[in-house]
Chain A
């Protein structure tokens, strides 16, 4: 029997079924602005006592599915590596506060349509050329030029277009917007991960000529095995980074990473799957709450979900704490089916938190004239666990869910205007990375002309409220509009949000300190040092 010249070459579990297990969706880690500027920027809290210098941090992460190119990158690993080498105008702290980096200061003229940024002086690129406003303008013009096919285009959609960036003197850049946008600083911050500042003559092959202002220099990059980085002596943050270098190793899946952490092969992870990586032995987890979530989108323009009651029935069928327990290891926060995460300052707190209510489900379904509800739920591997939880919970209240798993390339493939499964199937699960600004969820997902409106929900009142929210100058105006939007979504339920995912980062506490988690798995090792 053992003469098994068995023909199957079992595949890399990583991509198909496995990618899901990395929890955070690699394909969806787009992120942008967050809450308005708070008190003055401050460096990362300085470590207690003088930090020890030297040492090489060994970090594990899944291999990026595409090449290392800051302009078009979208997956967590590529973003992490680029962030070690290049800088943004503004950095985003784990609680989404804006931290000035290459931009010394910024201000908006009344009406929030014209913004000016003053560039920090004395900063040089790793090849010695000094940083100036021209390089900043070139970096943003590059993103806005459709030829470069950057994902950042969708972040700036309807707000900033090619030509809106102009110079004033050698160290000031002016952005003229299409419409008022009070949260604009977030769009040029780390929140918009493609917005790193590169030299004006950057020609596109970052792996070959990785010139940036960041704390480290990229020495070698191999698409199959990993990357090695060393301290950037010309880094503008004096005395930083404390480390001699960083060694990035690519891992097929989270289970291999867990083993490497425990056996001491690795010191930390860039992307940590909360349901797999556990704090055992020397491995500890740094936790932060975040604004990532997996949206259960229901097509509101055709049966069976054209009736609001049926959509609400699904919302009331879900046991949200059970979901948090099963798929986020209890580090998430409960969602209330509107797109304002608790972390957002403008998030209304007075809407009753929905909970599982079997009788209400039956009552809602009978009022909608539906005696036996059954539907097909489409998703790709990263959302497999959540799909299983939904199927089981809905079964308890008599709703039959048939699962339809597609490979990620199939789920997101096809024409986004006509037939791509993630925007056109009756019910689907789409995982979204954390966002700093609520309108980054609202504008594309639930406005009538939203570019990613999978539910086909169209409500002019909501559209107007969002415009007002964006343009609002004061906090109470912003809160009033937020209240309108939230209650409308809570009532109409085009998209069901059961929990907001927390974010963790695992590291070996006996080796290095200063390793912090980040809602969008961003990487800042400039203040990491040996124990």
Chain B
């Protein structure tokens, strides 16, 4: 176990360094000019050139990268070229929003997906199984900006059960903020449930047809006892990796939902800064997202090994 951990932990900073270099090179090639974006098209070339110099954009690329890396490592993430606010608060604030929405969606996702997967697995090839599988497939197949739109029209505009924008007024309590997050979270859950449920269904079917369940039946245990004691644990453990994949998507991938529900998440910031070539913000967002992405990958692998006794020890050969 520890060998796996150290190897993966060592890989993280290396990969993040590679990502930051790639991002630097990418923005160099991207068209457009951040100084022009700040001053607008009607400002004179002279003032645009003057701003470029003050932002240090005219220095050589390696110099700028070294400069950025030196300060970034010491916690000074610089100020956003366009929004002129400290990048750290901006990115971490936006990340906080994304994490809140992702966590809320994840909390809804886990019980629903596991429940449906188990139900489908236990009624293998019966109508409930077919319905759950097909509906899961269908919802998983529909882009989130489509389901989101439909949810908005029905629940926000017509029925007015939930607010249309996911952004509560500043300073609102957690409950109010969650109320604003219901619709975006539901549209994410609809998207991700199918994938997780399918994995849980597969492991449930495997558990039901396994020798140890047959042996338990042969010892006179009733179906409900068998399910409760043996099937439950053995079918939910493998779901961790499927949940892990969805967790990664929930962090970096929910930009369309952020946009649709007007929610200031980190995904939207990432693209906005990429288009504006606002380098400090883009770098910080890419590195933070990358770090989070890899930590989740590692967390999933570790929990998977911890939960499944067979993999607990580092099995050699």
Chain A positions near chain B (C-beta within 8 angstroms): 1-16, 27-28, 30, 65-67, 69, 72, 74-75, 146-147, 149-151, 153-154, 220, 222-226, 228, 247, 249-253, 256, 259-260, 262-265, 406-410, 412-417, 422, 451-452
Within 8 Å by CB of B140, from A1, A8, A265, A412, lies A1
A151, A251, A407, A415: which contacts B45 (Cβ < 8 A)? A415
A205: nearest residue on chain B (CB-CB)?
A: B84
A149 touches B248 (CB 8 A): no
Q: Does B299 sit within 8 A of A, measured CB to CB?
A: no
Report the separation of the CA atoms of residues A175 and B245 in the bound assembly, to the nearest whole angstrom. 67
CB neighbours of A3 from chain B (8 A)? 195, 198, 242, 245
The answer to whether A5 touches B42, judged by C-beta atoms less than 8 angstroms apart, is no
B163 within 8 A of A: yes
Chain B nearest CB: distance from A290 CB in Å?
18
User: Contact at A265–B32, with CB atoms within 8 Å?
Assistant: no
**Closest chain A residue, CB of each to CB of B180:** A265
| 15 A-B pairs with C-beta separation under 8 A | A2-B198, A15-B276, A66-B37, A72-B38, A149-B44, A151-B40, A154-B43, A225-B167, A256-B262, A259-B152, A262-B157, A409-B277, A410-B32, A417-B45, A451-B44
User: 9 closest A-B pairs (Cβ-Cβ)?
Assistant: A2-B140, A409-B32, A149-B47, A11-B271, A74-B40, A67-B84, A410-B31, A2-B194, A10-B256
A415 contacts across to B, CB distance below 8 A: 45
Given contacts A10-B255, A252-B259, A407-B32, contact A264 B160 (CB under 8 A): yes
Q: Which of B33-75 contact A (CB under 8 A)?
A: 33-34, 36-48, 50-51
Tell me, yes or no, whether B169 is within 8 Å of chain A by CB.
yes
Query: Which residue from B46, B90, B170 sits with its C-beta under 8 Å from A220?
Result: B170
With a cutoff of 8 Å between Cβ atoms, the chain A residues found around residue B39 in the complex are 72, 74, 149, 151
- The reply to whether A14 and B31 contact each other, CB–CB distance below 8 Å, is no
- Tell me if B137 counts as interface (CB < 8 A to partner A): yes
Q: Are B43 and A67 within 8 A (Cβ)?
A: no
- Given the known interface contacts A3-B195, A5-B245, A11-B255, the answer about A259 and B276 at a Cβ–Cβ threshold of 8 Å is no
- B residues 242-292 near A (Cβ < 8 Å) are 242, 245, 248-249, 252-256, 258-262, 264, 267-272, 274-277
A2 to B249, CA, bound (A): 13
Given the known A-B contacts A3-B195, A74-B42, A256-B260, are A224 and B164 also in contact in the complex, defined by CB atoms under 8 Å? Answer: no
* Contact (Cβ within 8 A) B85 A223: yes
Determine which of B33, B50, B145, B194 lies in contact with A413 in the assembled complex, contact meaning CB atoms within 8 Å: B33
Instruction: Provide the residues of chain A in CB contact with B40, threshold 8 Å.
Output: 27, 30, 66, 72, 74-75, 151
Q: How far is the CA of A151 from the CA of B37 in the complex (A)?
A: 13
- Which of A11, A69, A262, A406 has the largest count of B CB atoms less than 10 A from its CB? A11
Is B141 at the interface (CB under 8 A from chain A)?
Answer: yes
Supply 11 further A-B pairs (C-beta < 8 A) apart from A252-B262, A409-B31, A413-B36: A2-B136, A3-B195, A6-B249, A11-B272, A12-B259, A28-B42, A66-B83, A147-B50, A223-B83, A224-B264, A260-B164
Max chain A Cβ within 10 angstroms of own Cβ: one of B139, B141, B145, B253: B253
Contact B165 A256 (CB under 8 A): yes
Q: Is B156 an interface residue (CB 8 A)?
A: yes
Alpha-carbon separation in the docked complex, A439 to B173 (Å): 53
Contact of B275 with A15 in the complex, beta carbons under 8 Å? yes
For residues 69 through 92 of chain B, which have their beta carbon under 8 Å from a beta carbon of chain A? 80, 82-85, 90
The CB with the most chain B CB atoms within 10 A, among A259, A264, A417, is that of A259
The reply to whether A256 and B261 form a contact with Cβ atoms under 8 Å apart is yes
Contact of B94 with A by CB under 8 A: yes
With A12-B255, A409-B276, A413-B36 known as contacts, the answer to whether A149 contacts B50 (CB < 8 A) is yes
Contact B36 A409 (CB under 8 A): yes
Contact with B157, one of A72, A253, A263, A413 (Cβ below 8 angstroms): A263
Specify the main secondary structure of chain B where it touches its partner.
Answer: helix
Closest Cβ of chain A: how far from B27's Cβ, in Å? Answer: 12
Q: CA–CA, A256 to B156, complex, Å?
A: 11
CB of B62, distance to nearest CB on chain A (Å)? 23
* Distance of A9 Cα from B37 Cα, bound (Å): 23
When distances are taken between beta carbons in the complex, the residues of chain B under 8 Å from A30 are: 40, 42
Assembled-state Cα–Cα distance A69/B139 (Å): 46
Answer yes or no: B93 CB below 8 A from chain A CBs.
Answer: yes
Pick from A15, A265, A407, A422: contact of B164, CB below 8 A: A265
Best-surrounded residue of B37, B44, B84, B165 (most CB of chain A within 10 A): B165
Once bound together, how far apart are the Cα atoms of A149 and B270, in whole Å? Answer: 28
**Interchain CB contact under 8 A, B32 and A222:** no
How many angstroms between the C-alpha atoms of A415 and B35 in the bound complex?
Answer: 12
Instruction: Say how far A217's CB is from chain B's closest CB, in angstroms.
Output: 17
Residues of B within 8 A of A7 (CB): 253
Chain B residues, Cβ within 8 Å of A247: 169
Query: B41 — which chain A residues lie within 8 A by C-beta?
Result: 27-28, 412, 422
Q: Is A9 a contact partner of B270 (Cβ separation < 8 A)?
A: yes
Contact yes or no, A416 B245, CB < 8 A = no
Contact (Cβ within 8 A) A1 B83: no
Chain A residues near B165 (CB, 8 Å)?
Answer: 249, 251, 256, 259-260, 265
Distance from A70 Cβ to chain B, minimum over Cβ atoms (Å): 13
Q: Are A407 and B245 in contact (CB under 8 A)?
A: no
A2 touches B255 (CB 8 A): no
B140 & A409 in contact (Cβ 8 Å cutoff) = no
Q: Which residues of A contact B139 (CB under 8 A)?
A: 2
A417 to B45, CA, bound (A): 8
Task: Report how far A416 CA is from B49 CA in the complex, Å.
Answer: 11
How close is B73's CB to chain A, nearest CB, in angstroms? 25
Nearest Cβ in chain A — how far from B88, in angstroms?
A: 14
